[in-house]
């Protein structure tokens, strides 16, 4: 159970409270900069835990269970912090106005797909991750990273705009891939 991939996954979960503290104080550029570095490290470990587990032949039930949970905890926590704390250049939250919509779409999809996957697992139905879902994850990770970074460099508007555009792109892909999961799930509901 305490393989390197599982330890990397656990480190991602343990990093979330640190990330939240760094994002807690509005306008604390150093905190947002450190949060961005930590977010990048967490993203790298997300890649390597799966890669190492497959390469070393140490894929475990614990890892299969914890990996998506670690992802959802981090994404959910970052979205909540970016919506609620005022790290933007004008003191507003980094995600505000109409941009809250794609953030909530992503957050709600994460919760819904988790529940759907749990339901389908009880029926021994596996839903593989599609290529489009991987693109969704890529846009989502870029969006959140850019938005965190924008709290550290508020005078660089292009960083925030990159985050917002990526957030909307991730939300569109979230709806498409969420529908794909739901369609599979509906086939198994009586």
Q: What pLDDT score does 147 carry?
A: 96
153 vs 54: CA distance, rounded Å: 38
Q: What pLDDT score does 12 carry?
A: 93
Q: What pLDDT score does 62 carry?
A: 81
29 vs 64: CA distance, rounded Å: 36
Q: What pLDDT score does 29 carry?
A: 87
SS3 of residue 3 by DSSP: coil
Of 151, 138, 142, 145, nearest to 90 by C-alpha is: 151
Q: What pLDDT score does 3 carry?
A: 85
Give the chain's largest Cα–Cα span: 54
Residues 80, 19: contact at Cβ < 8 Å? no
Low-confidence stretches of the chain (pLDDT < 50) are none
Q: What pLDDT score does 190 carry?
A: 66
Q: What pLDDT score does 50 carry?
A: 81
């Amino acid at each position: 159970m305490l393989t390197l991939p599982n330890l990397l996954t656990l480190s991602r979960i343990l990093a979330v409270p640190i990330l939240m503290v760094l994002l807690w104080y509005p306008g604390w550029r150093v905190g947002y900069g450190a949060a961005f570095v930590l977010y990048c490290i967490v993203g790298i470990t997300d890649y390597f835990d799966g890669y190492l587990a497959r390469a070393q032949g140490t894929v475990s039930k614990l890892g299969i269970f914890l990996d998506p949970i670690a992802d959802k905890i981090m994404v959910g926590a970052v979205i909540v912090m970016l919506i609620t704390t005022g790290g933007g250049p004008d003191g507003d939250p980094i995600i505000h106005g109409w941009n809250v919509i794609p953030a909530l779409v992503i957050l709600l999809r994460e919760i819904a797909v988790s529940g759907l996957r749990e339901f389908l697992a009880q029926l021994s139905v596996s839903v593989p991750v599609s290529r489009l879902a991987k693109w969704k994850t890529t846009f989502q990770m870029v969006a959140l990273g850019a938005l965190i970074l924008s709290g550290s460099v508020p005078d660089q508007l292009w960083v925030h705009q990159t985050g917002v555009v990526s957030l909307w792109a991730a939300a569109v892909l979230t709806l498409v891939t969420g529908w794909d999961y739901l369609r599979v799930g509906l086939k198994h509901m009586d």
